[in-house]
Chain A
Amino acid sequence: DTEVTQTPKHLVMGMTNKKSLKCEQHMGHRAMYWYKQKAKKPPELMFVYSYEKLSINESVPSRFSPECPNSSLLNLHLHALQPEDSALYLCASSQDGNGGDLEQFFGPGTRLTVL
């Protein structure tokens, strides 16, 4: 299984809602990533987990809250989002996130619309 899966595929939410994005991989990878991709822009790194510990937070607002309950799962909890947070949210995983760890495997993304 060389796949990263993400649910849901699409999500529409209001600014007062609380929702969660989910990501799963069964490749035995120990590093997992959240990226945000606005339309016609490159992906931008948000968070990195390594061995279930948060290792990088790229100054992301607190309305985005990541969680890594085990080595296969990565969640992104959303609360009080703004319309400008509408984007494609991509999850990725890699072997262990250290030097020489060459490939990140990406999921298909969750397209989020905030009304």
Chain B
Amino acid sequence: GEDVEQSLFLSVREGDSSVINCTYTDSSSTYLYWYKQEPGAGLQLLTYIFSNMDMKQDQRLTVLLNKKDKHLSLRIADTQTGDSAIYFCAESTNTGFQKLVFGTGTRLLVSP
């Protein structure tokens, strides 16, 4: 199956860390991604992780992957009000084309 689930909503204060979680069911996933969508806009790729890695750090972003539990998380350090957006995890498999299956999306609200 290709179900990708996320919690709906997360609220944090500016300067705190945010952790957004994602669970997926397709064990053949090759790459897992985090996208950000601001209101009325398209999607922006934030980071990705290959399925044989368990952690990736990119400036304020840390991605953790637990392949056994099919659990992916995105930690944003020092969260800013500009980080308020909807965050989608997505998975793709090693087929010929980059067919992305998106998670349900988490709305992050950062308050001053």
- Bound-state CA distance A49–B82 (Å) is 34
| Contact residues of A between 40 and 55, Cβ < 8 Å to B | 40-45, 48, 50, 55
Interface of chain B, main secondary structure: loop
| Interface check B24, CB cutoff 8 A | no
Interface size on B, residues (CB 8 A): 22
Report the interface size class on chain A. 20 to 34
- Bound-state CA distance A50–B95 (Å) is 14
User: Which residue of B31, B43, B45 contacts A90 across the interface (Cβ within 8 Å)?
Assistant: B43
Residues on B close to A: CB < 8 A?
A: 4, 30-31, 40-45, 48, 88, 94-100, 102-105
Residues on A close to B: CB < 8 A?
A: 4, 31, 40-45, 48, 50, 55-56, 90, 92, 94, 97-99, 101-109, 111
Q: What are 26 A-B interface contacts by the 8 Å CB criterion?
A: A31-B97, A31-B98, A40-B105, A41-B104, A42-B4, A42-B102, A42-B103, A42-B104, A42-B105, A43-B43, A43-B88, A43-B100, A43-B102, A56-B97, A90-B43, A92-B43, A97-B98, A98-B98, A99-B94, A101-B98, A103-B48, A104-B98, A104-B100, A108-B40, A108-B41, A109-B41
